[in-house]
């Protein structure tokens, strides 16, 4: 019987990581391990810090069904690929899915909410309101680009624009 690969991804409280849960079914004695490949729209691969200079993060069967990927210092739209490999490291089975991770931007957006609660007069500041709306729109549009359009290119473009607001907070908020 062959493997049917399936996995889910979730981003929790730690916005610098996500958890991949392997939900694959089947069996194949030739598949001896797994690995996770995270690829950005420009072809760059992201790996866990303990993976070294590899283009993937090892995910041995002995690690159970979940792995935490610490690859999000900023928000990215990523093609996440789960591979089942043989003893030579050749991928026998693979499944790739696109994900948009916005946890860092959401954290920043919440800090703006806290700022607003402390100073309601910001609602009278046209620049603040306009920039806040634009920032929120970029986050939502990046998610839509991945979820609806399945495009990590468009999504990453929008996340990069949102990052301009984060990096230049004093100029916008």
pLDDT recorded at residue 52: 84
Q: Are residues 96 and 108 in the same domain?
A: no
Q: Are residues 155 and 90 in the same domain?
A: no
Residues lower than pLDDT 70 in the chain: none
Contact present, 134 and 165 (Cβ < 8 Å): yes
- CA distances (Å), 166 to each of 97, 129, 141, 172, in order? 27, 15, 16, 9
**Model's pTM, two decimal places?**
0.92
What 8-state DSSP symbol labels residue 74?
S
Q: Are residues 96 and 119 in the same domain?
A: no
Domains contained in the chain, number: 2
Sign of the dihedral defined by the CA atoms of residues 163, 96, 69, 57, in that order = negative
The parent domain of residue 70 ranges over 7-100
Q: Are residues 74 and 32 in the same domain?
A: yes
Half-sphere exposure of 111 (CA within 13 A, CB side): 11
pLDDT recorded at residue 34: 98
Q: Are residues 85 and 45 in the same domain?
A: yes
């Amino acid at each position: 019987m062959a493997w049917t690969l399936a996995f889910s991804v979730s981003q929790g409280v730690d916005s610098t990581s996500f958890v991949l849960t392997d939900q694959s079914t089947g069996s194949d004695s030739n598949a001896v391990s797994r690995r996770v490949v995270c690829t950005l729209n420009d072809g760059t691969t992201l790996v866990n810090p303990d993976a070294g200079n590899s283009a993937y993060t090892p995910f041995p069967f002995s690690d159970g069904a979940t792995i935490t990927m610490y690859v999000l210092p900023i928000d990215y739209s990523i093609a996440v690929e789960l591979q089942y490999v043989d003893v030579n490291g050749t991928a026998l089975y693979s499944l790739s899915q696109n994900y948009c991770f916005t946890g860092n931007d959401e954290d920043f957006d919440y800090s703006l909410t806290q700022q607003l609660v402390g100073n309601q007069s910001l609602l009278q500041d046209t620049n603040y309101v306009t920039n806040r709306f634009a920032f929120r729109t970029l986050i939502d549009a990046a998610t839509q680009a991945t979820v609806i359009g399945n495009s990590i290119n468009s999504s990453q473009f929008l996340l990069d624009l949102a990052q301009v607001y984060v990096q230049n907070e004093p100029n916008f908020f």
